[in-house]
Amino acid sequence: MPLVEKLFILAIGAQVMLTLVILVLMGRERVPRVMSGEIRVADIAVERTAYPLKARLLSNSFDNQFQLPVLFFVAALLALHVGLVGWIEVVLAWLFVGLRILHAGIHVTTNRVHRRFAAYAAGLAVLAVLWLWLLIRILLAPSI
């Protein structure tokens, strides 16, 4: 397997790892509170407001990993499937993942909405460029 494909797959893995890390952190905030009786199951069965702020921030960040990243995963799998992974795709993939890490970091720490939105919008722009680049390459490829 060429180095560019390995680096591309590592970016995919990094995005998956980000999601799993947030999930573990969320569990560490939520589960002990429920197990100790601090929070009743009935109070969290429908909504999250019974959880403390840190747990809600982690939960929202976890949910957010199933928004733009889903479109990233589809683009990444498409690029791998059609064999169009090059250095531009690798750079765009890692840039997207880096921006997702920044977004999540802001989300679960300071949660400054303007900064968080800037990271989100930058990630969206990179993702849009990745998709546009892939579509152009696929449509202009002599035979795929």
CATH of residue 115: 1.20.120.550
d(CA 132, CA 115): 26
The pLDDT of residue 66 is 97
Please identify which residue in the block is written with the tokens 């197990």: 35
The pLDDT of residue 73 is 98
Q: In 10 A of CB 75, how many CB atoms?
A: 20
d(CA 132, CA 102): 23
pTM as predicted: 0.94
The pLDDT of residue 36 is 95
Inform me whether the pLDDT recorded for 143 exceeds 80.
Answer: no
d(CA 104, CA 21): 11
Cα-flanking dihedrals φ and ψ of residue 107, to 5°? -60, -40
d(CA 7, CA 29): 33
Inform me whether the pLDDT recorded for 144 exceeds 90.
Answer: no
Inform me whether the pLDDT recorded for 100 exceeds 90.
Answer: yes
The pLDDT of residue 142 is 84
Tally of structural domains, the chain: 1
Residue 79's pLDDT band (cuts 50, 70, 90):
very high
**135 conformational bin, left if phi > 0, alpha if psi -120 to 50, beta if neither:** alpha
Please measure the distance between the N-terminal and C-terminal CA atoms of the chain and give it in whole angstroms.
19
Which amino acid is residue 50, in one-letter code?
A
The C-alpha angle with vertex 63 and arms to 8 and 53, in degrees rounded to 5, equals 125
What are 20-75's pLDDT values in tens digits? Answer: 999 999 999 999 999 999 999 988 989 889 999 999 999 999 999 999 999 999 99
What are 106-141's pLDDT values in tens digits? Answer: 999 999 999 999 999 999 999 999 999 999 999 998
d(CA 79, CA 89): 8
The tokens of 25 are what?
Answer: 């952190």
Query: What does the pLDDT average to over 96-101?
Result: 98
